[in-house]
Structure 1
Amino acid sequence: MRYLFAPKHDVVVISYLGHFDILLVWFFAKLRRKKIVWDAFLSLYNTVVEDRKLVSKNSLTAKALYALEWLACRAADTIILDTHAHGEYFATTYSLPREKVRTVFVGAELEKFPSIEHKGDGQKKQLDVLFYGQFIPLHGISVIHEAALLLKDEDINWTIIGEGQMADSFANALEKKPLNKLNWIRWVQYEELVAQIHNADICLGIFGDTEKASRVIPNKVFQILSAGAPLVTMDSPAIREIFNEARSGVKLCEAGNAEDLADKILQMKAELASLSLPAHTALRNVISPSSIGKAMKRICMDTIHGKQ
C-alpha cells in the first residue's frame, strides 16, 4: 500500500528476484498509470529445473516456478536480460514479443577491478592459472580439473577459488586424481579477488556444456576484463556478443572440452609476452557502471514512451 503514496515518478523498476514484487506492484502501478521495467537477470525456472536440475520438470515446484515467471513476464511492460541469447530464451520459453525483452550487460565495478599492467611473461617457466566462482554446472569445474590433469607435466600452478553444488564431486575427483600444483581455496573476500586476478597469468571463465552456459556471461568474466587479465573461456553465442576469438588477450574454447581448454591455455601462454597489456582496455567503457546506467535509462525512457 505504501506504493500508492510514493512520490511522483515516471516508471517503476523492479530488480533481480522481483518475481513476487512485480505481481504485488502491478495492480497499483496500473492505478497510477505507470509502466513497469523488470530487471529479471535470470530465469529461476531455468536455473533450478533445467540447469542445476534440483527438481524434476514434472514436479509441482517446477510447474509453480514456471507459472510464477510466466505471470511476472506479463506483468512487466519491459523485461531486461543480460545477453541477447538470454533474451531469446525468455521470449521463446514464455511466448513473449521479442521486442518486449531488452539487453543490458552485467558489467563490472571498474574501481574495484582496476586494470594494471599484467605480469605475464611468455618466456617464464612457471604459469599461474586462476579460476574463481560458484561450483555450479555452467562453470564446468570438472572440465577444468580434466584440463589440469592433461597439463600435469607442464609447470603450471592452478588456483581454484570457490565452492557450491559441485564441490563434493570436485573433492572426490581430486582425491582419485590428485594434482600437486593445485591449490583449492574455498572462499576469499570480495575485495581480495582483484589481487588474485592480477597475480595470475591466465584467468579462466566458464566451460560447462549446459544450454544456460551458452546464453550467459557471468559477472567474473566482466571483472577479469576490467582488470586487464588474459582470459580463456568457452565459446558461445553470449560471449560473441562482446568479442570474437581474434581479440588480443582472449582465447575461446569448445564448451565441455577439456582437451581444447588445455590447448588454449598453452596457446595463451605462448602469446603472453606479445600481448598488448593491460588487455581489454577498449572494453572497459562498454562494461562500466556508467555505460550500464545509460543503457538502463534508455530502456526506461523507451518504455515510458511506448517504444520497444
Structure 2
Amino acid sequence: MTVCYFGIYDPVFGRNRVYRKGLTENGHAVLDCLDRSRGITKFWRLWRKHRALPPYDVMVVGYPGHLIVPFAKLIARGPVVADLLGSLEDAETLSHGAGFWRRVKSALIDRLAVYFADIVLLESEAQESFFENKFGSSGKYRVLYTGADDSVFRCDSERIEERFVVLFRGRLTPESGILHVLEAARLLKNDPLITFRIVGAGPLLSRARETITKANLMNVELITERLSEERLRALMCEAALSLGQLSDNPRLSRTIPHKAFESFALGIPYLSGDTPAIREAVRDGETGFLVPSVSPEALAKKIQELRANPALLRRVGEAANTEFTSRFSPGALADALLSMLRKN
C-alpha cells in the first residue's frame, strides 16, 4: 500500500514518527507532502507538492492537522484519514486556558475536520466516547494508540540498582500533577534510597524550584535543559519507576501521554493516576501501577511499597515491554492502521 502523509504535521511528533516508521518497516511506501509555512501560503505549496506526487492509495493527515482536513479532502485522490488524536477545543479549553473566540474557532475547526474526514484516528477509547457524545456517532472513529519509537526508547544495559530513581518527565503544568509529585517527595525525604528525578520545564517551574528550596528536598534532581535523545534515554534507563500524570484535570480521563508508551518500550514500570484512558494501556499490578490521581500520600506509599519489592518491579517491567511489542510498537500500530483501512 502507498500512503500519502499530508499536511502541516510535525514529523518528529510521536504519532507521526511511529506510524511512518512502522509503515516503512512493514514494506509500505510513504509519500511525504508537508509544508509548515505560515498563513495561507502553506495551502498553495501543499497543492503544488501534491500535484507532483505519484499515485497513492490513501491520504493520512498527520498531527497536528485539524485545520488542514477540509483542504486535504478537496484535493485527495483517495480516502482521507485524519489523525486528530483528540479535540482541539478540548485542549484549548482545559489545558491552554484559551479565551472565548479562540475556543469558538477551535470548536469550528474540530467540527469541520470530523465532517470532511473519511476516518478519524483517536488516541483512546475514552476519546472515542467523547467524540461520539460531542460530534455524534458517525462510524468514522477509530482508536489507534500513540506508541513509541523503539529505535530511540530502548535500554542497552541493565539498570544499576544502587539508587531507587523515580522519574517524572514532562512539562511542569498544573495538569501534570508536578506539585503532587513534589509533596510525595517531601513525605519521603528521609528515605535515603529514593531519589526523584524531574526532567522538564514549564509554567510551574518557578513554583517547583521554590517548593524544592523551602522544603529542602535534597532527594529531588531537577533537570530543566533541553536534552538530546541519547541523554534523555540514558536518564530514563537509570529509573526504577516512571511517573505518569497525577492531577484531576477532566481532559486526563481520555488522554494517554507519550511517556506511558516510552516507559513500556524501555521496560520501566509506569505508575500513573487512575483514569479510564490509562486503564486501556495499564493493567494495575501486571503491566504498571495505578494510584488515586490527586493523592500525594497514596503516591508516596506506593513508591515505598515498590522499592521494597524489586521482584515485582522486574516482573511488571518485563510484562510492560512485552505488551509494547505486541500492541504499541511501530510495526504493531502500522498493522492496526492498515487493518482499519482495509475494512473501510
TM-score (normalizing by structure 2): 0.79
CA distance in 2, matches of 1:120, 1:252: 25
CA distance in 2, matches of 1:5, 1:193: 39
Q: State the alpha-carbon separation in 2 of the partners of residues 119 and 190 from structure 1.
A: 18
Structure 2 counterpart of 1:306: none
Query: What is the Cα deviation at residue 27 of structure 1?
Result: 2.1
1:120 and 1:273 in contact (8 A); partners too: no
Report the Cα offset of residue 275 of structure 1: 4.1
Q: CA separation in 1, counterparts of 2:294 and 2:169?
A: 17
**Percent sequence identity over matched residues?**
27
Aligned residues: 292
Q: Distance in 1 between matches of 2:168 and 2:283?
A: 21
SS in 2 for 1:232: strand
Deviation for aligned residue 1:72 = 1.0
Give the structure, 1 or 2, with the largest relative contact order (CA under 8 Å, sep 6 or more): 1
Query: 1:83-128: per-residue Cα shift (whole Å, max 9, x none)?
Result: 111122222222342x31111111111222225675375xx6x522
Aligned Cα RMSD in Å? 2.1
Corresponding residue SS for 2:82: strand
Gaps of 5+ in 2: 1-46
Q: 1:161 to 1:86 in 2, by over 3 A?
A: same
Displacement of 1:49 in angstroms is 1.2
User: Cα–Cα, structure 1 residues 84 and 76, in superposed 2: closer, same or farther, change >3 Å?
Assistant: same
Aligned to 1:23: 70
CA distance in 2, matches of 1:83, 1:292: 13
**CA distance in 2: counterparts of 1:70 and 1:296, whole angstroms:** 23
Amino acid at match of 1:105: Y
The match for 1:302 is 343
Aligned-pair CA distance for 1:10? 2.2
Q: Given that residues 118 and 229 in structure 1 are in contact (C-alpha distance below 8 angstroms), is that contact kept between their aligned partners in structure 2?
A: no
Q: In the alignment, which of 40, 47, 55 is matched to residue 91 of structure 2?
A: 47
Listed one character per residue, the Cα deviations across residues 6-36 of structure 1 (whole Å, up to 9, x for unaligned) are: 432222210111122212122233xx5x321
Which residue number corresponds to residue 277 of structure 2?
A: 238
Assess, with a 3 A threshold, how the Cα gap between structure 1 residues 215 and 118 changes in structure 2: closer, same or farther. Answer: farther
CA change 1:208–1:79 in 2 (3 A) is same
3-state SS of paired residue (2:84): strand
Counterpart CA distance in 2 for 1:104 and 1:89 is: 15
Equivalent AA in structure 2 for residue 207 of structure 1: L
TM alignment of 1:260-275, pairs within 5 A:
260-275=298-313
TM-score, normalised relative to structure 1: 0.87
Alignment equivalent of 1:92, drawn from 124, 127, 133: 133
Deviation at 1:223, TM superposition (A): 0.9
For the Cα contact (< 8 Å) 2:306–2:312, is it kept in 1? no
Q: Does 1:218 align with 2:261?
A: no
| Residue in structure 1 matched with residue 148 of structure 2 by the alignment | 108
8 Å contact from structure 1 (residues 159, 183) kept in 2:
yes
Q: Distance in 2 between the 1:220 and 1:296 partners? A: 21
Counterpart of 1:173 in 2: which secondary structure? helix
Residue of structure 2 equivalent to 1:143: 180
Residues 1-308 of structure 1: pairs in structure 2 closer than 5 A: 1-2=47-48, 3-4=50-51, 6-29=53-76, 32=77, 34-52=78-96, 54-56=97-99, 59-97=100-138, 99-115=139-155, 118-119=158-159, 126-155=163-192, 156-187=194-225, 188-247=227-286, 250-276=288-314, 279=318, 280-285=320-325, 286-303=327-344
* CA–CA separation in structure 1 for the residues paired with 2:57 and 2:343: 12
The letter of the residue matching 2:98 is V
CA contact (8 A) 2:282 2:289 kept: no
**Rounded Cα–Cα distance in structure 2 between residues aligned with 1:254 and 1:281:** 24
Q: Match of 2:275, SS?
A: coil
**Deviation, structure 1 residue 241:** 1.1
Q: Relative to structure 2, which stretch is displaced further, 17-26 or 269-278?
A: 269-278
The unaligned stretches of length 5 or more in structure 1 are: 304-308
